[in-house]
Amino acid sequence: MTDNNMPLLLDNTMSGMDQPSMQVDLNAVDDLFGDTDALSLPSRPPSRRLRRRLDELRGRGCCQGLAWSKGGTIASIAPDGKSLELRYLRSNPKDATWELSEPKSITPWQSLNGSLVVHLSWGPASSELAVVDAAGRVLLLNFNSDLNRPLISRRWEDTIDDLHAIVGTYWLNLLPANTRFYPTYSPAVKGTKATDYTFESSGVPAMGPNHPNPGKSALICVTTNGLLRMFWNQHNSKAEETTLELESATSADDLITHAAACSDKTKSIYIAMATTSKQLRVVQVAITFNTPKTENAQNAPSGGYPLSPSLGKRHVAVTSWFQAGMCESALDASMSMISHIEMLPAHFDFQTKQWSPIVIITVRSFIPEPNAPYNQEAQSIIDRWELLTDQKQTVHTAFERLGARRNSVGSTPPATARLRKLDPIVVNKIVLGLNVLSFGKVLSLYYNDGTVEYRDRFTMHELYREANLDRMHSILEAGFHQSGEHSCLQMAFSPANCSLVQMYEDWQIKWHNLEYTLSEPATISEGHLSAVIASCAMLTATATNSNSNIDDILAVARKFPSPDHFALKWVTNMVQIMRITVDYSEDSPHDHLIRNQQLQLCFSIFNHLGWNGELNARHFHSKLSTLALNLRNTVILVSLASSAPSAVRAASSPLDEPEVVNSLAGCARWSIDFFSWLCDALFGLLDDPKFMSFLTQPNASQQLANMNKYLHEKHEIALHLILCSSIRNLISAVCRRVGLLDSYAARALAWYSGRGEIPEGSNSRHVALHAAYRKIYRHTSTALVKADELDKFLGVLAEDIRSAYATSLGPLAEKEAQRAAKNPPIPSQNPNAAKPDRIKEARQHCELNLLLMQPPPPSFLAVITKLFRQDLIRLRTNINLEKLYFADYSLLEINDTPEVLANRKQRGIKVDMFRRIEISREAQVPWRQCSRCGSAMEDLTSGNNKPGMIFLLAQQRTCCCGGRLALLA
């Protein structure tokens, strides 16, 4: 039976007849009595659980029980209010599909003393969670290590006072990288070619105050009795508190029910407070951390100087938030309680060079009574006020004449501020939450029916309702739709605002990703796919600059066909938007390459979109990227262990701890296996007649294109690894780290050999440390391919490539010089602006093509010919080819033939990403697993760890692909 068919009273089950029941089509009886309006059933009345939720929102300003962090952790309050549940998005290791993890219940406190947890608030640093109970006590948790395993950074207070209940929270903005602007990368504008997009980059002025440490924030809380409490981290990471009395609550009418705050261009914060007497008060608070000024920063202590913040206040404006009769809604007078309050910060318009004022928003909602005699609908009213500052006061002319008569000079009255009421917005739904997006330009609202709206801060018109492929400000304008399901009580949006989780009336929590609406993803056109990729790149660039998780963006990308093509255009757009450096052909230190996190992100995109599960074959780009990411991680681990900070070395050097040295031994073995595999693959091409035939033909461009196609068909990535300058430099860096480990091992064994044989029971740590260094020396001394020889080989190749670039791009430099001589460039207004370097831009373009595994430039044919006819033959003379051919490369997890995958499944083993050893779940040791690529490591967290191991594990917060780690059950 369809929804439009209504059975009569006598149906089959009631009449006992065999005949089918008569059906009445509601669409056919619309005009039965002359009615012109369609007949519709009344909407379902609001549930008791929804009414209770609205009462919670009206009663206290802080009652958010579902929150999503920038790092990817989804925290929720358990139904009993006595524990927390932690979830996260994970790519299932079986088939790489994205899903919501199972909840993990935690209770990081001994007792609540009769109170209940009522509010959760994540900080902007992606790892700090504030847990607030009904009495206003604040617990701070830190999720630096794992997505679902926090550490307590501040515990509950012992005292309980109902007047300290918190009604508003706000985290201070993080200090931006350049301290002046937050970069933005929208809109994406379609070019003349329907598949090309350009991105307009700009900046949003940074607004303080900020914590002096760029990676830290501070939590502002407003209590019901008007007390401001600021929780902040001292220079030694100890959580401390500073308070300020905003209002003096002398009666019940002065109590505050809701509060909101925002930062301002004056490096202060504004706080809006709603009271029980229906007043709306605005206070400006100045925050100074009082960091000492020093002329010589080198003399500063390692942990920094101690902070001593001070707070000051200024009452700005006051009005009534309940002004009945100013709204067109007939139910306006019935909504005498607010459920939400929010502040939109001042916005700077670069065209007019003007600041728009701060906007305060409140929400009032109405739910009809269950047995009301009138047919009333649920409704919400959104009230708005502009905070107008610097309002000049005028003096009456009579007072001016009085001053002139007395021969006195009057002073100019001080400027004041006032709240100007704007037109309210009426919606026939219940607003259950609102969020501020795009630095205050956009306001998002979600309703009890699961729908989500985006509104412009100035006009409050709805945004992103239709696709706009010509000029996209949001991924929704690329053809996506975002909504949840009915019976919604709470929502939380992902860091990239690309998906959401809902809490339903039965306390279940579900994840909803974006849905594509223009067509089926499998049959999408090239133009629409280009728009989707451009919107993903725009969103990824924004998320990267705010250190936000992008897992749900990857989940959107997996819906579309041709993952290799999707990844290629995505990375190309990312390099264009963020000006990512991919050219490392010049001889330069490896530090910049290792610190290039944006390049790591590009490798991560390739790695994930070409991954179909741990027991399935990888795509060509994914296989290359996973090796590049592991090479980078190896360089970082060895570098950190060998050059730990002085504070760590003062307690215990990492190289004196057996656990650390054993991990380095695993890295050495993995690296040496990689060297052998790389040379074996290159020698295989040397012995391949078809491949060598590509080096003998005259047409360089065509032959290189044919050679590239042949390598893709064979899934042979070895040549691409050494031609791409960024990966070639990573291999060179690993060669030098292996040489460094070899020298450490030789020195350690020489030290031990001078002291004779170590008795087994004399010092167990010395025995373990000696064995660990022997393991490193055994790996390096028996290597089939020596690290220094491979490094020399790569150095010769790099020099040949630099010569090829100089030869092929030399005419470009001459033409540029001639053009500059004929038409001198106009002097720039900015003398410090960088001059365009056409040769560098051309090299960047060539290296980008190599990174994307495209055919090399024609000038590389001579380089590749020399590589295979001279350099490789010279390298092969010193290598045992038989041992190289039969060597075991399972530690690399790079061979993915059906036989290898079947053997891996049967053995049930994985390679530990940290120690580079094979691990199995049969060992009954907990695992930490990457939520993005499925890589795993054994949980080495222990109270017996030495400072060096603790330091290294603290740096392993993320997987080599950039995904966050989670503790498995």
> How do residues 681-728 score in pLDDT, each as one tens digit?
999 999 999 999 998 877 888 999 999 999 999 999 999 999 999 999
Instruction: Indicate the pLDDT class of residue 413, thresholds 50, 70 and 90.
Output: low
SS3 771: helix
pLDDT at 38 over 60: no
Of 406, 415, 410, 408, nearest to 396 by C-alpha is 410
Helix (H) or strand (E) holding 795: helix 787-822
CB count within 10 Å of CB 683 equals: 20
> Helix or strand or coil: residue 940?
coil
Question: Count of CB atoms within 10 A of residue 725's CB?
Answer: 23
Residue with tokens 């399901």: 485
pLDDT at 302: 52
Q: Is the dihedral of CA 499, 502, 508, 509 positive or negative?
A: positive
Confidence of residue 236 (pLDDT cuts 50, 70, 90): confident
Per-residue pLDDT tens digits for 791-822: 999 999 999 999 999 998 878 767 766 666 66
Please enumerate, as own/partner, the contacts of 4-8 that have beta carbons within 8 Å and a separation of 24 or more.
none
Lookup: tokens for 696: 């003998």
SS3 content of the chain, % helix, strand, coil (to 5): 35, 25, 40
Residue type, 904: R
Residue 938 backbone class (left: φ over 0; alpha: ψ -120 to 50; beta: rest): beta
The predicted structure's pLDDT at residue 19: 46
CA–CA dist 733, 787 (Å, integer) = 10
Q: Which residues pair with 431 in a beta bridge?
A: 447
What single letter denotes the amino acid at residue 66? L
Q: For residue 11, name the pLDDT band (cuts at 50, 70, 90).
A: very low
* pLDDT number for residue 4: 46
pLDDT above 90 coverage of the chain, percent: 66
Q: How far apart are CA 456 and CA 838, in angstroms?
A: 42
Count of all residues that appear for the chain in the document: 969
Q: Is the peptide bond before 811 cis (omega within 30 degrees of 0)?
A: no
Could you give the CA distance from residue 700 to residue 804 in angstroms, rounded to a whole number? 14
Q: Which H/E stretch holds residue 538?
A: helix 526-545
| Cα-based torsion angle of the residue sequence 248, 251, 252, 256 in order, rounded to the nearest 10 degrees | -10
**519: Cα separation from own chain's centroid:** 28
**Averaging pLDDT over each range in 32-41, 304-313, 397-406, which range is the top one?**
304-313
Q: Are strands 927-930 and 936-938 parallel, antiparallel or unpaired?
A: antiparallel
pLDDT value at residue 551? 96
Residue 805: half-sphere exposure toward Cβ, Cα within 13 Å: 22
Question: Which pLDDT does position 295 carry in this prediction?
Answer: 56
What mean pLDDT is predicted for residues 220-244?
93
Look at residue 390 in the predicted model and tell me its pLDDT: 75
CB 336 within 8 A of CB 327: no
The pLDDT score that the predictor gives to residue 17 is: 41
Question: Rounded to whole angstroms, how far apart are CA atoms 497 and 454?
Answer: 12
The DSSP annotation for 570-589 comes to: HHHHHHHHHT------S---
Nearest to 656 by CA among 748, 721, 732: 748
Give me 188's structure tokens: 């994406």
- The CA distances from residue 781 to 394, 663, 668, 677, 742, in Å, are 88, 18, 11, 17, 8
Distance of alpha carbon 326 from alpha carbon 709, whole angstroms: 70
CB atoms within 10 A of CB 205: 15
Question: For residue 135, what are its two tokens?
Answer: 């009495």
Q: CB of 68 within 8 A of CB of 348?
A: no
Cα separation, 280 vs 488, in Å, equals: 29
DSSP string, 147-164: TTEEEEEEPPPS---GGG
Q: State mean pLDDT over 221-250.
A: 92
- Is 496 buried (19+), middle (13-18) or exposed (0-12) by CB count in 10 A? buried
Among residues of the chain, what percentage have pLDDT more than 70?
87
Q: Tell me, what amino acid is at 856?
A: P
pLDDT above 90: residue 738? yes
Asked if the model's pLDDT at residue 548 lies above 80, the reply is: yes
Above 90 in pLDDT, residue 836?
no
| Residue 695, both tokens | 């080096």
Q: How far is CA 176 from the centre of its chain?
A: 15
Question: The dihedral of CA 54, 56, 62, 65: what is its sign?
Answer: negative
Question: Which stretches of 5-83 are assigned E, i.e. beta strand?
Answer: 5-7, 23-25, 66-68, 73-77
> DSSP states of 415-460 as a string?
PEEEEEEEEEEEESS-EEEEEEEGGGTEEEEEETTSBEEEEETTT-
pLDDT digits (tens, 9 = 90+) for 557-589: 999 999 999 999 999 999 999 999 999 998 778
Two structure tokens written together for 614 = 């741990």
Residue 383 · residue 430 · CB < 8 Å: no
Gyration radius of the chain's alpha carbons: 33
What b/e sequence results for 602-638 when a residue is b if at least 16 CB atoms lie within 10 Å of its CB, and e otherwise?
Answer: bbbbbbbbbbbbbeebbbbbbbbbbbbbbbbbbbbbb
Helix, strand, or coil (residue 364): strand
Which of the four pLDDT bands, split at 50, 70 and 90, describes residue 617? very high
For the stretch 155-205, pLDDT in tens is 988 778 878 899 999 999 988 877 688 889 989 999 988 789 999 988 889
Instruction: Give the residue from 729, 728, 688 showing the smallest Cα distance to 711.
Output: 688
Q: How far apart are the C-alpha atoms of 394 and 357, rounded to whole Å?
A: 22
Give dist(CA 195, CA 389) in Å, integer: 47
- Strand, coil or helix: 8: coil
Name, in order, each residue with C-beta under 8 angstroms of 289's C-beta and a sequence gap of 6 or more: 209, 211, 212, 232, 307, 308, 309
Q: How confident is the model at residue 20 (pLDDT cuts 50, 70, 90)?
A: very low
**Confidence class of residue 111 from pLDDT cuts 50, 70 and 90?**
confident
What is the sign, positive or negative, of the torsion defined by CA atoms of 679, 683, 685, 686?
A: positive
The mean of the pLDDT values for the chain is: 87
3-state secondary structure string, 681-722? HHHHHHCCHHHHHCCCCCCHHHHHHHHHHHHHHHCCCHHHHH
Please give the average per-residue pLDDT across 251-273, as a whole number.
Answer: 93
Alpha carbon dihedral 507, 513, 514, 515, in 10-degree steps, equals -90
Predicted structure pTM score: 0.90
Residue 699 CB burial class (10 angstroms; 0-12, 13-18, ≥19): exposed
Q: Mean pLDDT lowest for which of 19-23, 179-183, 475-479, 544-548?
A: 19-23
Start-to-end CA distance of the chain, whole Å, equals 46
What torsion do the CA atoms of 546, 549, 550, 551 make, to the nearest 10 degrees?
180
Is 344 in a helix, a strand, or coil?
strand
507-533: buried (b, 16+ CB within 10 Å) or exposed (e) per residue? eebebbbbebebeebeebeeebbbbbb
